[in-house]
């Protein structure tokens, strides 16, 4: 379970609260909005992820004795602030896009309402969770699109921070990854976990056949044998010899995969193993996956590119004060992207049910047939509106993403750089 999260915070949030407590502005009713000014270069959509994780960590955002002692040790000695923090629990409201929803520039992904002091404190934690998880989910969704009906396996834990790895496995599952190598993601979120062996296991043994025999003896003939430690062709022959034609799969982790997959398929067929699947790994990203669409491949294992957001490791969301005591506010020098006031948002659709626009407005939106409200209540009076356990919340987000994916226009899933899949209309 998450432990205390109150120090996963930027110091300036505390200094702002201290100053606001002193001059009486801390209690002003405020609305903060989370949104992305733009998508990463050429991306056609983003996917909201992390909302469920945020609801998990929010109750742990409390300042206990240890946290307060830490602050004192760091020179935060303002007695009024420390007293206030000791009693702090977020008691406001949060609304936002359902987890798994698509988002576009300016989409009001999350809205936090409360007193200035209680709401400003959450800025860093909210952004850390949403920026990381949404970056991974957005990249993962492109991989799922490229893989079409073939399953994708998340195996990138080793390429990112050990805790980020768990969140990355969760975000990948959310958009349709079939499984993950990460055991903690299995424990915490019910993500199916898979894994068989590495090259080290083959090298441990006196020869490849001994390694394969050991693996099959323990994991059964349905296992996946890694055949490229020495020579791929010989590896495949040995694999079928050892496991028989019922061998579940072989894994190719190096070489020119499109040609290698063709020759591996031919060889497996000629060895009487036409049902043995071919899983490819080796530094795949959405483009490499697309490049394998015509190859006889049965599944993709994705690591580095997934957990680093395939070139866009953070979603670039910001947390901005948009309303104070009912009055819209905005930093002036930032230009038109900052619009004051609490936002409403709907997704507009054509008669066939295909999404055509994101309509965002600081007032009520003129309704049209087929509009779908995008903003849902997440927290009321500090309490989560979701009674779901973490694994259930993920399953619901996954189902929501799948439903919404069916409403997106086909061009959304082109991998080439382009404009946003649908336009955002600021009414």
Rounded alpha-carbon distances, angstroms, from residue 388 to 51, 113, 289 = 13, 23, 34
For residue 315, count other CB atoms closer than 10 A to its CB. Answer: 27
Considering the complex, what minimum distance in angstroms separates the CB of residue 62 from its own copies?
A: 14
Taking CB under 8 A as the criterion, the residue among 77, 218, 263, 270 binding its own copies is: 218
SS3 347: strand
Taking CB under 8 A as the criterion, the residue among 56, 93, 123, 285 binding its own copies is: 123
Considering the complex, what minimum distance in angstroms separates the CB of residue 410 from its own copies?
A: 31
Q: What is the DSSP string of 214-271?
A: HHHHHH-TTSEEE--SS-HHHHHHHHHHHH-TT--EEEE-SS-HHHHHHHHHHHHHHT
Considering the complex, what minimum distance in angstroms separates the CB of residue 412 from its own copies?
A: 25
Residue 376 CA to residue 105 CA, distance in Å, equals: 19
- Whose tokens are 């404190």? That residue is 121
Q: Residue 90 forms beta bridges with which residues?
A: none
Spatial CA neighbour of 212 closest among 275, 204, 277: 204
Considering the complex, what minimum distance in angstroms separates the CB of residue 129 from its own copies?
A: 6
Q: What 8-state DSSP symbol labels residue 351? A: T
Within 354-393, the residues that bind its own copies by CB under 8 A are none
Within 324-343, the residues that bind its own copies by CB under 8 A are 324, 329-334
Does 263 contact its own copies by CB under 8 A?
no
Taking CB under 8 A as the criterion, the residue among 51, 138, 157, 356 binding its own copies is: 157
Is the CB of 179 or the CB of 356 nearer to its own copies? 179
Residue 286 CA to residue 25 CA, distance in Å, equals: 49
Taking CB under 8 A as the criterion, the residue among 36, 47, 127, 345 binding its own copies is: 127
For residue 211, count other CB atoms closer than 10 A to its CB. Answer: 23
For residue 3, count other CB atoms closer than 10 A to its CB. Answer: 6
Within 70-89, the residues that bind its own copies by CB under 8 A are 70-71, 73-74, 78
At 316, give phi and psi (nearest 5°): 70, 25
Is the CB of 63 or the CB of 404 nearer to its own copies? 63
Taking CB under 8 A as the criterion, the residue among 203, 293, 399, 414 binding its own copies is: 203
Residue 102 CA to residue 317 CA, distance in Å, equals: 14
| Calculated CA dihedral for residues 370, 375, 378, 382, nearest 10 degrees | -140
Taking CB under 8 A as the criterion, the residue among 47, 141, 146, 167 binding its own copies is: 167
End-to-end Cα, the chain, rounded Å: 42
Is the CB of 216 or the CB of 397 nearer to its own copies? 216
Does 219 contact its own copies by CB under 8 A?
yes
Question: Where does this chain touch its own copies (CB under 8 A) — which range of 39-47, 129-137, 360-368, 371-379?
Answer: 129-137
The footprint of its own copies on this chain (CB under 8 A) covers a number of residues equal to: 98
Is the CB of 57 or the CB of 147 nearer to its own copies? 57
Spacing of C-alpha 139 from chain mean position? 8
Within 178-197, the residues that bind its own copies by CB under 8 A are 181-184, 186-187, 193-197
Considering the complex, what minimum distance in angstroms separates the CB of residue 347 from its own copies?
A: 27
Is the CB of 20 or the CB of 355 nearer to its own copies? 20
Considering the complex, what minimum distance in angstroms separates the CB of residue 67 from its own copies?
A: 8
Does 400 contact its own copies by CB under 8 A?
no
Within 101-120, the residues that bind its own copies by CB under 8 A are 116, 120
Considering the complex, what minimum distance in angstroms separates the CB of residue 313 from its own copies?
A: 4
Considering the complex, what minimum distance in angstroms separates the CB of residue 156 from its own copies?
A: 9
**Angle, CA 260 vertex, CA 257 and CA 266 arms, to 5°:** 140
């Amino acid at each position: 379970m998450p432990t205390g999260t109150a120090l996963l915070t930027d110091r300036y949030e505390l200094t702002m609260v201290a100053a606001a407590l002193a001059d009486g502005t801390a209690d002003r009713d405020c609305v903060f909005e989370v949104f992305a000014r733009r998508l990463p270069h050429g991306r056609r959509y983003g996917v909201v992820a992390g909302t469920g994780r945020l609801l998990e960590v929010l109750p742990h955002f409390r300042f206990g004795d240890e946290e307060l002692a830490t602050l004192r040790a760091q020179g935060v000695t303002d007695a009024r602030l420390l007293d206030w923090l000791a009693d702090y629990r977020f008691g406001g409201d949060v609304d936002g896009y359902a987890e798994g929803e698509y988002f576009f520039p300016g989409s009001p992904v999350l809205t936090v309402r409360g007193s200035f002091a209680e709401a400003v404190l959450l800025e860093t934690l909210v952004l850390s969770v949403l920026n990381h998880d949404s970056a991974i989910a957005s990249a993962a969704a492109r991989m799922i699109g490229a893989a079409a009906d073939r399953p994708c396996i998340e195996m990138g834990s080793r390429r990112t921070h050990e805790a980020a790895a768990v969140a990355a496995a969760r975000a990948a599952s959310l958009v349709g990854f079939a499984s993950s190598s990460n055991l903690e993601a299995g424990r915490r979120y019910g993500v199916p976990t898979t894994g068989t062996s590495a090259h080290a296991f083959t090298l441990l043994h006196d020869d490849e056949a001994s390694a394969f025999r050991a693996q099959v003896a323990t994991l059964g003939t349905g296992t996946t044998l890694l055949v490229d430690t020495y020579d791929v062709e010989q590896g495949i022959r040995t694999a079928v010899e050892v496991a028989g034609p019922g061998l579940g799969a072989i894994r190719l982790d190096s070489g020119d995969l499109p040609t290698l997959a063709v020759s591996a398929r031919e060889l497996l067929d000629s060895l009487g193993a036409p049902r043995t699947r071919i899983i490819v790994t080796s530094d795949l990203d959405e483009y490499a996956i697309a490049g394998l669409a015509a190859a006889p491949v049965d599944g993709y294992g994705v690591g580095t590119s997934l957990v680093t957001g395939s070139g866009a490791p953070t979603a670039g969301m910001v947390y901005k004060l948009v309303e104070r005591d009912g009055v819209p506010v905005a930093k002036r020098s930032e230009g038109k992207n900052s619009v004051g006031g609490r936002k409403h948002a709907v997704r507009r659709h054509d008669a066939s049910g295909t999404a055509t626009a994101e309509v965002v407005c600081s007032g009520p939106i003129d309704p049209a047939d087929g509009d779908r409200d995008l903003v849902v209540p997440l927290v009321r009076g500090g309490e989560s509106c979701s009674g779901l356990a973490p694994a259930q919340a993920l399953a619901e987000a996954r189902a929501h993403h799948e439903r919404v994916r069916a409403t997106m226009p086909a061009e959304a899933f082109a991998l080439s750089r382009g404009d946003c899949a649908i336009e955002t209309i600021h009414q």
